[in-house]
Each structure stands twice: as structure tokens, then as C-alpha cells.
Amino acid sequence: MAGETSNPNFLLTTLEKGVNWTRTRSMWPATFGLACCAIEMMATGTAHYDISRFGMEVFRASPRQADLMIVAGRVSQKMAPVLRQVYDQMAEPKWVISMGACASTGGMFNNYALVQGVDEIVPVDVYVPGCPPGPQSLLHGILTLQDKIMSGEITRARGLIV
Amino acid sequence: MSDESIPQDESLEAQAAVEASPALELPGDPILVELAAAFPSVSFTSFEPLSGPRQDTAIVDRDELLAFVQAVKDAGFETFIDLCAVDHLNREPRYDVVTILLSMEHAKRLIIRVGVPGEDPTIPSITSIYAGANFYEREAWDLFGVIFEGHTDLTRILLPDEWSGHPLRKNYSVGSVPVQFKGSFKSS
Amino acid sequence: MSDTTRTPEGETPAPAADRPADETNGRLDADGRRREHEIWVAGTEEPDWITNATDEGAQEMLPRDLDPAVSVQRGVTVTDDYLEEEMIVDDERQIINMGPQHPATHGVLRLHMELEGETVRRVKPIIGYLHTGMEKTAETLPYMSGGTNVTRMDYLSPLNNELCYALVVEQLLGVEIPSRGQAIRVLMTELNRVSSHLIWLATFGMDIGALSMMIYGFREREAILAFFEKVTGLRMNHNYIRPGGVAADLPDGWEDDVEGIFDVVRAGLDDYQDLLNGNPIFLDRTQGVGVITPKEAHQYGVTGPIARAAGINFDLRKVFPYSGIEQYDFDVPLGKHGDVFDRYLVRTEEIRQSLRIVEQVLETMPGGDYRTDDRKVTPPPRKRIDESMEALIHHFKLFTEGFKVPVGEAYQAVESPRGELGMYLVSKGAAKPWRLHVRTPSFATVQSLPVMMTDLIVADVIATLASLDPVLGDVDR
């Protein structure tokens, strides 16, 4: 927030910064737990790590109400179309965190069954390494995403329907 | 299970050792001795690990499988535990279908192994005897292509429907994609 | 103003009215992106995509007369006074999907349900959405690293998976584990049982509406995970129990950590039971719901707490003891009715019994080595590597080529928190398994879902599913 004037009750900022700030402070993740990482994602949501400090404790089951998809776990060939559909159903603007080695690269399972990295299906904003990443790692990934949103443009909308 | 209800394996073995014919590879268990007498073509092997119970395997011809499994069930092996296939590739018969049954009353497991030739990978389904074999047989078909005759819904279970091939066969590649490490190639 | 088609009320007219029908059937634009969703209004003629909506091969329900499970399912009836058979007509049946992305399916299970009003008449579980090809991967990993693979199957009880793998390899190898190694194994797996059951309690509570259970269960589990992290270096997926022993000895001061766990978990358990045991809503939603009879459990291979809640007195730790667990004193809790509430009772009591075992391990922890001194599977001690070239080569070869396991086939089962976890290993004398099949308890449990869920109402389906504690990584492998 910049541009404080002599009137103390008056704040000036750009629309861009204001919108980005509101976006970062109430990101609602979709519950997209797949495997081991989902348990750590749940742990992030509970008392010890408390994701609500970042305004994100509202895990939404419906993709329509979510801004952020945390792909937590390995994505199989059978799950890939489902994942893409859930992503398509999310409203813009939307972000994706690829949580863990399996979601990011296929991890140790370089075989016929897994998609070798979820970025083959959906665009990924932040990759969180680890197998599984601890809650602290996930929180770090979330903060990184918030930084990214703050520095981005509000007109950015991937796959915008024109 | 309380300690009293576990049959004393040593005493049973000692008792059966007296009764069993020396031709049998594994004397030991009265149930197995009875089964062996009823099915002369079934051969038994046994594996004694350092710790843990002895593992008895019955090697059954696939034509006899249904009758044998029914007899085993009647002998007290009420719990269905596992069914899987093994691909031996250059062996004849190529596949093994391994069924593991458990008798909680006698605290005993029985492994039933059936050879299935590679050119004609069919085997009778035991879903009519153990309903729990349903998913396991679907899995064995999905991953190995062993056809279970008499199964009502032999479809893909773990892989997508449009998948071709049976990935756990030894001549199906792991399907890994090459991994490029940093610095392994020079960008122009 | 005048050139826009604005109605007097200021509303824009429905845009679809005079839009030219485009060549891509109105669904896709020129770039192939979907522009709008098709909608079918009930009562009009069904378009193809509605008729074929569930036409998905293996993902489809069988015709009713072909469904093999139906005859078994008939054995399960629930007498709810609001379900009146004669009031429901056959053509009111509809098929709905639950999952694979659904908060109450514990991962990516998909249930295909045929409903009659609120009543579930048939269920088909559809699995495979987390199929990772682990049995194939197991064939490519040497025995030494095989544990990294199996530990990711059942990610709520990774140590039990590792234990089973280590035991089945040791069976064929014929090595004996020193008593300290065995005691460490028992300690870790029993603590893992506690943490797994705590997660079950948390998610189970969340699914039936007791949201605070979610917070509490995870809170208590953190105490155990902190200990795991201290011992193994990781919170989950430890690869700590390996063929030949365990990866490292317990850290200094582990006794105090374990005693801290007792305090936290026992106090937590008392709280939960205060909260839940007398709660009328909890009792209403769990008692008499999702029943499985012992006979059906045998048929479908259902083991573990679910079978014990149905009154089957069978615990692998008692019947086929492994890793020296027979020297510890513990009871096997049994239920009577086989319903959701009995599963809750059995699991909470199992937590207490596991803590009892851990307590005894704490008192009687033997000294000595934590892994076998068989040089075939254990690398030479660090000091020897500094002194001797042979030891260095030995160490190198052990971790690059791995050790060879004699030809043979073996089956080993352990009592995982979900039931009988078995591994069938075929070795052809190489350093990698020829075939490793894993008999996972959740696979059998998910298979038996139709038995438990038929003729329940939809809300009870959630309670039943949550009570079974299926781990989809365990089901699909």
C-alpha cells in the first residue's frame, strides 16, 4: 500500500495491488488429495500448522468455489482426465500447486501407470519438493505463490474464454 | 485369539507323522493328508522359514482346480485371502495363478498354485466358491491377461478401460520415460 | 443507446435466442475449447450424451441379474422405519456417482450407486484412480531399496509395510534378526498403528460431522510423528525397517519421547471417548449401520479391525506372531455387531493395547545390535571401511548391486492397522524380486462395500465408508 496522504483515513493504491492483495488473503483450496501428500496437506490444515493463518482454511469440495488446486500426490493415467476436468471447472483466476515429487515429476515411480509430472496436464505455478513435503514445506510453497500473485497482473487469466 | 484356541502344531505334526505315508512330501497336517488322499494328482511342497509358520503349497492342475478349492473350503479354509498371477516368461507353463486361503479355526494357510500355459491363459474362476475372488481375478486379468472362465464381470479394474496390453507381463516394458539431468546435454 | 437491444426493464435478452448454430455443435469454439455446457431438460428427448452417460465399460454397473454380489448382498438388511419397500417403484431408480473427487471418499475411490430415493440399492466400487504400478516398480528395485517402494503403498502405516517386506525377504534369505532389532520393529509398528488409528478417528469424525475430531486426531498424531521424524528422519515414508534389521538405532533419550507420547495420546483418547461415546447424534449415526456378518467377512477376505468388530477372533499378532511380538502381553478387542460403532470401539481399544505393547517394549528393550551381523545383507561397520579396502568394496557392492536372495516363493503377512497385509515374493536368485504381490487389506475391504452398503441411505454410506478406513494407495498400489 502506497501513497498515504495528509488525511490519515485515506489510502491510495493501484487497483492492481489492491486486487492482488485481496486475492492472496482468501485463497480457497480445492480438496484434491490423492496420496501420501494429502495426509500432510490435511495436517497443514489442522491445529499444529494451521493454514488459516493465511486465510486458506476453507478447503472446498466443489471446484467451483475454489481458487487453488493443491495436487497432493501421484497422478495416475486413470486420474489424469478427472484432474483436468476439476481444473477446468474451477473459476478464474486459479492457481495450481504441485505438491510432492510424484506430482511434480512422477517421483520414484517412473513407470507405465503414472503421469510423469502434473504439468503435462495443467499449468503449475509452484512446485513443492519432498516426498512427502512436510507441512512447513507446503506453507512455504503457499507463501511463494502469494508472492507470485502479488507481483502478477490482475488481467492474467489462463485459458480465458473469449 | 486366545492362546488356548490355537491348535498345538507340534502335537498335530507328531501325530500326523505317524499316520502319513512316507511317499508324501509333507506329512504333518491331517487336513493336508486327507486332501492329498482325495486328490492323488495334487502335489504338495512345503517351505519352512526360520521364523513363522510353515508354508504349504498345493500344486494343482487347472482342470481340477474347482473341485480342489471346493474340497479345501469344505475342509475348513473359510477365509479367502489372496489371488495373484506370476509371469515366469520362459517357463512352461508360463503363468502361475496363486491362491492363498486361510483357516482361522486351524490357524493354517494353504497356498494353491496352478500353472497356466502362455498360449491359452485360461483358468476356471473360483468366484462361485469364494465371492471375494471377484476383484482379485479382475486384477489378475487386468495386469496379466489371465482369463478367468465363469467370471461375470472380467473387466479392467486398475487401469483405464481403453488400455491395451497387460503391464505386469514380463515382456511389457516398465514404461519409464527417459529423465534428463541437468548438464547431461548441451543446449545450443 | 438505441442500437443496443436493451429491454425496457434494463435486462439483456437471453443471448442464445438468435445465435447462429455453429459448425462445432455449439460446444466447442474454433480452438477446440469448450464454450458452454450442454443442458438437458427433463421431459424432453434424451440426447446421446445423456443416454450414454454411464456407458464406460468397467466403470459401469452390471445388469441386475448378472451382478454376482447381489445374492450375497441380500443377506444384509437394515430395519429403518422410514424405508418402506412397497412405496418405492422400480423406475424411480437412478444411478449417481460419488467420487473420484469427493471429500468423503478418503482419496480417489469412486462409488457407482443405484438409488431409490434416498436408499442405496446397489453399489459398485470403482478403483484404480491411484494405480501406481508399484508391483512393477518392485521388480526393478534391488531388495535393499525395495522398502522405499512398499512404504508408499499404505501411506498411513508405512512402517507396517516395510516390516512385511523385510520379513518376507528375510524368510527367503534365512537370516535372524537380533532381539533389539525385533523390539525396535515392534515399537515402531505399534506406534504406527496408534498414529494410523488416530488419523482414522480424525477423518471418521469429520465425515460424520464431528469436525473437532479432525483437529484433535491430527493434534495427537503429531506427537508420534515427531518421534518418527527423530528416529527415521522423515514424518512419513520412512524406509526405516529394512531386510536385515532397521536402518539406525534409536536416538538417545528415546524413552522420554515415548513416555511423552503415552501422556498425550492417553489424555486425548479419554477426551474423545467423553465426546463421542455418549453423544446421541454419534450413536444414531453409527449403531446398526454398515453391518458385515462374520460369514461375509470370511467370504470377502475382510480382516483386521472390521472383522474383529464383527466378532471374528483373529489377530495375526496372536495367531502367526512375527518379530517377537508373542513375548508381549496384550488383548485383542472384539466387537459383537459388526457395525460402525463397534469398529470405533475396537479401534480405540486397539490404540490402548498398542500403547500397552509399547510400554512393555520400553521396559524390556534388549541391548545388542539393531541389525543382523550377517555380512550378506549388512554393510561392514563404518570403522572397518576406513581400514580395509575389502570392506569398502563390500560396502560399495552391497549398495550398488545389492544382495542376492535364494530361489523360492514365500508369503508373509503382518497385522497392519487395516487388517492382513501380506506379501507374496517370488525370487529367482537375483538381486531384484521376480515378482512381488501385495495382498492389501483395503483392497478386500473396498470389495466388500456392496455388502455393507446395500439398503442403507446415502448419509449412512458416508459413515460406513469412513468407518472402514480404506487407504486408496493401499487399494490401487
- Listed by start position, the domains of chain C span 95-126, 134-475
Q: What is the mean pLDDT of chain A?
A: 83
In chain A, what residues touch C203 (CB-CB under 8 Å)? 42
Determine, for residues B157 and C137 on separate chains, whether the beta-carbon distance falls below 8 Å: no
Closest CA to C424 of C405, C434, C415, C437: C437
For B129-141, write each residue's pLDDT tens digit: 888 888 899 899 9
Report, as an integer, the average pLDDT of C461-474: 88
Residue C31 has pLDDT above 80, yes or no: no
Q: Does B160 touch chain A (CB under 8 A)?
A: yes
d(CA C205, CA C199): 10
Q: How far is C77 from chain A (nearest CA, A)?
A: 31
d(CA C389, CA A45): 51
Q: What is the mean pLDDT of chain C?
A: 80
Q: How far is B187 from chain C (nearest CA, A)?
A: 31
Report, as an integer, the average pLDDT of C19-41: 45
Closest residue of chain A to C148, computed from CA coordinates: A108
Q: Does B176 touch chain A (CB under 8 A)?
A: yes
d(CA C191, CA C156): 12
In chain A, what residues touch B167 (CB-CB under 8 Å)? 112-113
Residue the block writes with cell 507420547: C261
Determine, for residues B130 and C299 on separate chains, whether the beta-carbon distance falls below 8 Å: yes
Q: How far is C357 from chain A (nearest CA, A)?
A: 26
Q: Write down the pTM of the prediction.
A: 0.83
In terms of average pLDDT, the best of A12-26, C53-67, C323-337 is C323-337
Band the pLDDT of B188: cuts 50, 70, 90. Answer: very low
In chain B, what residues touch C437 (CB-CB under 8 Å)? 82, 84, 86, 98
Q: How far is B19 from chain C (nearest CA, A)?
A: 26
Band the pLDDT of C358: cuts 50, 70, 90. Answer: very high
Q: How far is A19 from chain C (nearest CA, A)?
A: 27
d(CA C214, CA C219): 9
In chain B, what residues touch A119 (CB-CB under 8 Å)? none
d(CA B56, CA B62): 18
Range with the lowest mean pLDDT among A129-143, C7-21, C410-424, C450-464?
Answer: C7-21
Q: What is the pLDDT of residue C66?
A: 60
Q: What is the pLDDT of residue B100?
A: 92
Range with the lowest mean pLDDT among A8-17, C73-82, C283-292?
Answer: C73-82
Q: What is the pLDDT of residue B85?
A: 92
Domains and CATH numbers, chain B: 3-149 (3.30.460.80)
Chains linked to B by 3 or more Cβ pairs within 8 Å: A, C
For B146-162, write each residue's pLDDT tens digit: 988 888 888 888 888 88
For A75-89, write each residue's pLDDT tens digit: 888 888 888 888 888
Q: What is the pLDDT of residue C425?
A: 92
Q: What is the pLDDT of residue C195?
A: 92
Q: What is the pLDDT of residue C360?
A: 92
Closest residue of chain C to B45, computed from CA coordinates: C409
Residue C58 is given by DSSP the state G
C-alpha cell at C341: 460403532
Q: Please, what CATH class does the domain formed by C134-475 belong to?
A: mainly alpha
Residue C165 has pLDDT above 90, yes or no: yes
Helix, strand and coil in chain B, % to nearest 5: 25, 25, 50
For C391-407, write each residue's pLDDT tens digit: 888 888 888 888 888 88
Is pLDDT larger for residue A45 or for residue C194? C194
- φ, ψ dihedrals at C177, nearest 5°: -100, 135
Among the partner residues C68, C170, C171, nearest to B127 by beta-carbon distance:
C68
Using CA atoms, how far residue C80 sits from A67, C83, C209, C284, in Å, is 41, 6, 21, 12
Q: What is the pLDDT of residue B17?
A: 39
Report, as an integer, the average pLDDT of A130-142: 90
Closest residue of chain A to C474, computed from CA coordinates: A35
Q: How many CB pairs under 8 A join B and C?
A: 141
Report, as an integer, the average pLDDT of C414-424: 91
Q: What is the pLDDT of residue A153?
A: 66
For B161-176, write each residue's pLDDT tens digit: 888 888 888 888 887 7
